[in-house]
Structure 1
Amino acid sequence: MQVSVENTSALERRMTIGVPAERIETEVNKRLQQTARRAKVPGFRPGKVPMSVIRQRYEAAARQEALGELIQATFYEAVVEQKLNPAGSPSVEPKVFEKGKDLEYIATFEVFPEFTVSGFEGIAIERLSADVTDADLDNMLDVLRKQNVRYETVEREAQDEDQLNIDFVGTVDGEAFAGGSAQGTQLVLGSGRMIPGFESGLVGAKAGEERVLNVTFPDDYQNLDLAGKAAVFTVTVNSVNAPTLPELNEAFFAQFGIKETGLEGFRAEVRKNMERELRQAIKAKVKNQVMDGLIAANPVDAPKALLSNEVDRLRVQAVQQFGGNIKPEQLPAELFEEQAKRRVVLGLIVAEVVKQFDLKPEEDRVRELVQEMASAYQEPEQVVSWYYQNEQQLNEVRSVVLEEQVVDTVLQKASVTDKSVSYEEAVKPAQAPETAAE
């Protein structure tokens, strides 16, 4: 077999492969012999059909099959021989594809980039630290109560935070428009659910009252046909319902799976959950900074095949997340290209750090992470057992731990500044892009 390789770009390789005719004929004959043993041809007993008849009937198909498999086999042999690492399937173009002649074809493909990760010392990291104070805990209890608010009908004027049951009809230039009318809608005043002026215009209304609201759609309204236009809504208030926050009692605690522990026990459980959230938030922010630093310090070309695969993955995720009667391939690729590129590049960089520093998942850390995740459930022991009985799920945890070890490796050499902040600031979501692709 003869092989020559041409570098047509930083990642693209054009490989010409020649396969001797003798090897082709050997493969063709092997298939014809197999066919002869089972072929049923009128006038001949099975296994007794002359090879000339077998060739006449089946050689073309046998040759096509042999050539296809030979291309696959010889391509693999060639990339191993040339020490190449393809990043996707090749595009094959036959040069000589005739009976009795050597097979010659061209395989064009991309390879994984070869690089060394560096620049750790130039990466600046701000590592936050915070505590869960009693005030933070009290605020969280208020949030939990508001999330479980109940509404009771009252005979008074509507106030902010009241829930109204309303019917409304909206018009623009005297004409009704799609989505502008509804009956029996529940609306909490001050929630910001409706366009500016709608909710504030209902403050002071009573059950049975009709109000006419003159409002204007925002210039950046999602429906461009309505953006910036003046509208009139005729609203009928069916009922006014005042919010009632639940008491911090055993019934309330039971909604969160906590029984017979009293207020102090509930506070302790909530604090534990807040501390877990705090640790995860701080860790995530450090990780995002490390990943940003690695990308900035290590420009890497991303193979097109990997980018295409990642775009397809993101399309599928988008459809699963948002639903709708749409196929993933109908979503424009350009919507996901930037995100896909980041994920692919990070995947390549993280894999190279793992290789350079010979990192392997530390099983103690794997167990710690499993236990940390399990602690959020009512029966943590069962969750831990489930992970260790599902190798695929456990391997996903190992991948997370391996990424954490990559972060630790960078932190040992990066410029790290510690900063004390409040709990709220520490857990506030950052503008965090994707980390390495799975």
Structure 2
Amino acid sequence: MDVKVVEQENWSRMVEVLVPQDELQPEFEKGYRKYQKKVKIQGFRPGRAPLAIIKQMYGPRIEIEVIEDIIPRIITDAWKQENLKIVSPPKVDDLDYQPGSDLRITFTVDVEPEIQIEKIEGFRFDRKVYEVEDEDVEQALQTLREEHAVWENIDEPATEENFVLLDLQELDESGLPIVGRKFENELFALKNQQGEVTELGRQVIGARAGETRVVVLTPSPRPGSDEPVQPVKFEATIKEVRRKNLPELDDEFAKDLGDYDSLEELKKALREQIQRRVQQDLDRELERQIIDEIIKNNPFEVPKSMVDTYLDNFVQQIKQSAQDQN
């Protein structure tokens, strides 16, 4: 296969491909044999007609079908052979083939722009260095306590410190259950992270396991929607009231978490982890600032097809994200 690349304006490249008849012939032979297995010719059993007769009767038709099948592969092989970094789907401009002759294809692609970086010196940036606060370590310790908490079912009225395991059956305006709108084994905290009693908590505090109450809950607004949300009525069956028991912050807790001999060793390790993680984030932000500054001082254009491809992919990601949320 002979390939010739012709540079056009900007990032456009015209690629001329010539595939000799002798390179096409093996593909044609495969097409003849494939056709031989399925064609029915009078006087021969199915699949037993001689290849010579197949070629005589259907040769040109088979060759055209084979050409249509192998064009995408030929085009891909051509731009890869020439090490083109394409950013747009190939567009076939011309295709010339007559039975018994060579195959000629001309297609156009856009390639990655060659960016010339001329100014990379003289910039000034401030690197932030994070200093871990005691509060950071305390928050990390609290997170570890939450992760290693022990749940206990209690036979007591629910308080704001507890959690409840519920079955929620949505009700219509008349108070009748809506088929298909039952949510089972949902676990809820009765106060939020700010220490405030939740909307549900205000309606079930004091209830015991086995009790049923009618509650009204306000759904969260749909992302990007300005439509007001309407409260929804549910029949809530309290299946369990749970207490979350947090482990004590002591040396034994540290030992249970891993290779730490004391709580102080655990705090030291957490301080180092926080320092490393936050510093990595700050350094990544600095890297983005450097890249932005280099781009600003070295402007360049990109193919429209490259921008279109990026936008198409971005839109698809947004659509997929919306579908996942629904």
Q: TM-score range by the shorter chain?
A: 0.5 to 0.7
Residue number among 190, 214, 226 corresponding to 1:212 in the alignment: 214
Secondary structure of the 1:98 match is coil
- Mark the CA change 1:179 to 1:12 in structure 2 (over 3 Å): closer, same or farther: farther
- CA drift at 1:95: 4.4
Residues in 2 aligned to 1:54 and 1:283: alpha-carbon distance in whole angstroms: 69
Aligned positions of 1:6-405 closer than 5 A: 7=8, 10-15=10-15, 17=16, 19=18, 24=20, 27=23, 72=74, 76=78, 86-87=86-87, 90-99=90-99, 104-117=104-117, 120=120, 125=125, 127-154=127-154, 156-174=156-174, 175-177=176-178, 180-191=181-192, 197-218=199-220, 220-221=221-222, 228-249=229-250, 252-258=253-259, 261-297=261-297, 298-301=299-302, 304=305, 308=309, 333=316, 335=318
Aligned-residue identity in percent: 20
Q: Whose radius of gyration is greater, 1 or 2?
A: 2
User: 2:169, 2:178 within 8 Å by CA — same for their partners in 1?
Assistant: no
**Which residues of structure 2 form unaligned runs of 5+?**
29-51, 321-326
- CA drift at 1:58: 11
Secondary structure of the 1:301 match is coil
TM-score normalised to structure 1 length: 0.50
Residues in 2 aligned to 1:55 and 1:185: alpha-carbon distance in whole angstroms: 70
User: 1:28, 1:62 within 8 Å by CA — same for their partners in 2?
Assistant: no
User: 1:161, 1:190 within 8 Å by CA — same for their partners in 2?
Assistant: yes
More helix by share: 1
Residues in 2 aligned to 1:212 and 1:250: alpha-carbon distance in whole angstroms: 46
User: 1:11, 1:303 within 8 Å by CA — same for their partners in 2?
Assistant: no
Q: Which amino acid aligns with 1:248?
A: L
User: Cα RMSD over matched residues?
Assistant: 5.0
User: 1:172, 1:229 within 8 Å by CA — same for their partners in 2?
Assistant: no
Residues in 1 aligned to 2:192 and 2:6: alpha-carbon distance in whole angstroms: 64
User: 1:128, 1:282 within 8 Å by CA — same for their partners in 2?
Assistant: yes
Could you list the per-position Cα deviations for residues 228-260 of structure 1 after superposition, in whole angstroms to 9, with x for gaps in the alignment?
Answer: 22322333434433332102346533553325x
- CA drift at 1:150: 2.3
TM-score normalised to structure 2 length: 0.63
Could you list the per-position Cα deviations for residues 321-361 of structure 1 after superposition, in whole angstroms to 9, with x for gaps in the alignment?
Answer: xxxxxxxxxxx736389xxxxxxxxxxxxxxxxxxxxxxxx
User: 1:97, 1:103 within 8 Å by CA — same for their partners in 2?
Assistant: yes
Q: Which amino acid aligns with 1:176?
A: P
Secondary structure of the 1:233 match is strand
Residues in 2 aligned to 1:54 and 1:238: alpha-carbon distance in whole angstroms: 76
- Mark the CA change 1:296 to 1:54 in structure 2 (over 3 Å): closer, same or farther: same
Residues in 2 aligned to 1:183 and 1:56: alpha-carbon distance in whole angstroms: 71
Tell me what 1:423 maps to: none
**Which residues of structure 1 form unaligned runs of 5+?**
33-51, 315-331, 338-438
Residues in 2 aligned to 1:236 and 1:30: alpha-carbon distance in whole angstroms: 73
Q: Which amino acid aligns with 2:92?
A: V
User: 2:162, 2:241 within 8 Å by CA — same for their partners in 1?
Assistant: yes
Residues in 2 aligned to 1:107 and 1:295: alpha-carbon distance in whole angstroms: 32
Q: Which amino acid aligns with 1:181?
A: K
Secondary structure of the 1:253 match is helix
User: 2:115, 2:300 within 8 Å by CA — same for their partners in 1?
Assistant: no
User: 1:167, 1:185 within 8 Å by CA — same for their partners in 2?
Assistant: yes
- CA drift at 1:189: 1.3
Secondary structure of the 2:199 match is coil
Q: Which amino acid aligns with 1:333?
A: Q
Q: Which amino acid aligns with 1:112?
A: E
Could you list the per-position Cα deviations for residues 159-193 of structure 1 after superposition, in whole angstroms to 9, with x for gaps in the alignment?
Answer: 3341123333332423534664344432211248x
Residues in 1 aligned to 2:188 and 2:291: alpha-carbon distance in whole angstroms: 43
- CA drift at 1:280: 1.8
Could you list the per-position Cα deviations for residues 102-143 of structure 1 after superposition, in whole angstroms to 9, with x for gaps in the alignment?
Answer: 754321111111221356569775532222233432332122
- Mark the CA change 1:278 to 1:165 in structure 2 (over 3 Å): closer, same or farther: same
Secondary structure of the 1:140 match is helix
Residues in 1 aligned to 2:236 and 2:80: alpha-carbon distance in whole angstroms: 75
Tell me what 2:33 maps to: none
Secondary structure of the 1:198 match is helix
Residues in 1 aligned to 2:293 and 2:302: alpha-carbon distance in whole angstroms: 16
- CA drift at 1:294: 4.6
- CA drift at 1:286: 1.8
- Mark the CA change 1:288 to 1:202 in structure 2 (over 3 Å): closer, same or farther: farther
Tell me what 1:381 maps to: none
Higher mean C-alpha displacement, 177-186 vs 163-172:
177-186
- Mark the CA change 1:115 to 1:305 in structure 2 (over 3 Å): closer, same or farther: closer
Residues in 2 aligned to 1:143 and 1:231: alpha-carbon distance in whole angstroms: 33
